[in-house]
A and B are shown apart, each in its own frame.
Chain A
Amino acid sequence: MFFVLVATLFPIGISPEPEVLGEISAGVLWISALLASLLAMDNLFRADFEDGSLELLMLSPHPLYFLVLAKNVAHWLVSGLPVVLVSPLIAYMLNFPEGAYSTLVLTLLLGTPVLSLLGSIGVALTVGLGSRGLILAVITLPMSVPVLIAGTLTVSQTLEGASLSGYLAIMGAMLVAAFTLAPLASAAALRISVN
Chain B
Amino acid sequence: MDWTWFHKWGSPKWFYELSGKWLPWLVGAMVTCLLIGVIWALLFVPQDYQQGLTNRIFYVHVPVASISLAFFPLMAIAGTIFLVWRMKLADVVVKVAAPLGAWFTALALASGSIWGVDTWGTWWVWDGRLTSLLLQFFLLLGVVSLRTALEDSEGAARACALLSIVGGINVVVIKYSVDWWNTLHQPSSNFTLATDQANGPEIWVPLIFMIVAVYLFFAISLILSTRNEILQREKRAQWVIDLVAKS
Contact = CB atoms under 8 A, between A and B. Distances in A.
Interface of A: 121, 125-126, 128-129, 131-132, 134-135, 138-139, 141-143, 145-146, 149-150, 153, 185, 188-189, 192-193, 195
Size class of the B contact interface (CB-based, 8 Å): 20 to 34
A142 B173 contact: no
Contacts of B166: 121, 143, 185
A135 B8 CA distance: 35
B146 A126 contact: yes
- Summarize A's interface: helix, strand, loop or mixed: helix
Interface of B: 135-136, 138-139, 141-142, 145-146, 149-150, 155, 158-159, 162-163, 165-167, 170, 173-174, 176-178, 180-181, 184
Contacts of A126: 146, 149
Given A121-B166, A192-B159, A193-B155, A145 B145 contact: no
B145 A146 contact: no
Query: When A and B form their complex, which 3 residue pairs have the shortest distance between CB atoms, in order from nearest?
Result: A146-B177, A138-B142, A139-B142
Contacts of A135: 142, 145-146, 149
Given A135-B145, A193-B155, A142 B162 contact: no
Contacts of B146: 125-126, 135, 139
A2 B184 CA distance: 31
B163 A142 contact: no
Contacts of B178: 145-146, 149
Nearest to A136: B142
A174 B6 CA distance: 37
14 contacts: A125-B146, A125-B163, A128-B150, A138-B142, A138-B145, A142-B139, A142-B174, A143-B167, A145-B174, A145-B177, A146-B173, A146-B178, A150-B177, A192-B158
Given A143-B170, A146-B173, A149-B181, A185 B162 contact: yes
Contacts of B158: 192
Contacts of B176: 146
Given A141-B138, A143-B174, 19 more contacts: A125-B163, A131-B149, A135-B145, A135-B146, A138-B142, A139-B146, A142-B170, A143-B166, A143-B167, A145-B177, A146-B177, A149-B177, A150-B177, A153-B180, A185-B166, A189-B162, A192-B158, A192-B159, A192-B162
